Structure 1
Amino acid sequence: MRIAVPSVDDRGLESEMSAHFGRAPYYTLVDVENGEITGYKVVKCPFSEHGPGDIPNFLRSLNVDIIIAYGMGRRAQDFFNSMGIKVLTGAYGKVSDVIKAFLTGSLSLDRYWSEREEFKHEKRWGNSEY
């Protein structure tokens, strides 16, 4: 299984998640087998601007099965759903922590993510408190 996480930089598992999926400069792709991380790679977002479906199609071409994000627009979610790619929104923190929590079933999701100032103003955050 391959999980994509929008990231603020190219540090991979050590990166913080980007608050807004569609404006992330990087995506950390984490490969998982039998509940264990088997590898990862970081890809730079190839779009300085993008249209509907561009990023979902890009990530599908990289064989992504699951997207774990903080904020994501409804259209992007619909694109992923139509492609059979599972979307989880409301996750935040360091990529490695988020992936480990997902794998152990303890991932905490902020169901009010769309109401947060960080998302409304489209800021990218790192170690901010909620």
Structure 2
Amino acid sequence: MYSVPLLNPQQREVCGTLMKAVDDGNSGLFFLDAPGGTGRTFRMLLILATIRARSDIAVAVASSGIAATLLEGCRMAHSLLKFPLNLQTIEQPTCNIVKNSAMSKVLIAAKIIIWVECTMAYKRALEALVRT
């Protein structure tokens, strides 16, 4: 991994856990919640760069425009994942992504989807992505 010597032991452990899950092909949800100034963005950039350096696909989405500017290639979650406008009123929402579209192929091939500030998103938005 790039810049690993710059990580402190706790950061190294987090990156190692995520990269092991990616390398083993284990799907799952991981939440990285830490106070400002603890290197969250640095770790996300490191993981994205490492996966992309292997010529694999790493998708980055964010719940806010400010967060989207922090990561290279990051887009707003509602724009990229095409959530329905009535997300809160649908019993079991899904993303409005056409089954054989280019975006569906990217999401299927992605080794990791990093959602910055996912705790700021509606619960149903996360459920819609999982369901899709």
Query: What TM-score do the two structures reach when normalised by structure 2?
Result: 0.31
Higher share of residues assigned helix: 2
Q: Which has the higher contact order (CA 8 A, sep 6+)?
A: 1
Higher share of residues assigned strand: 1
Larger radius of gyration: 2
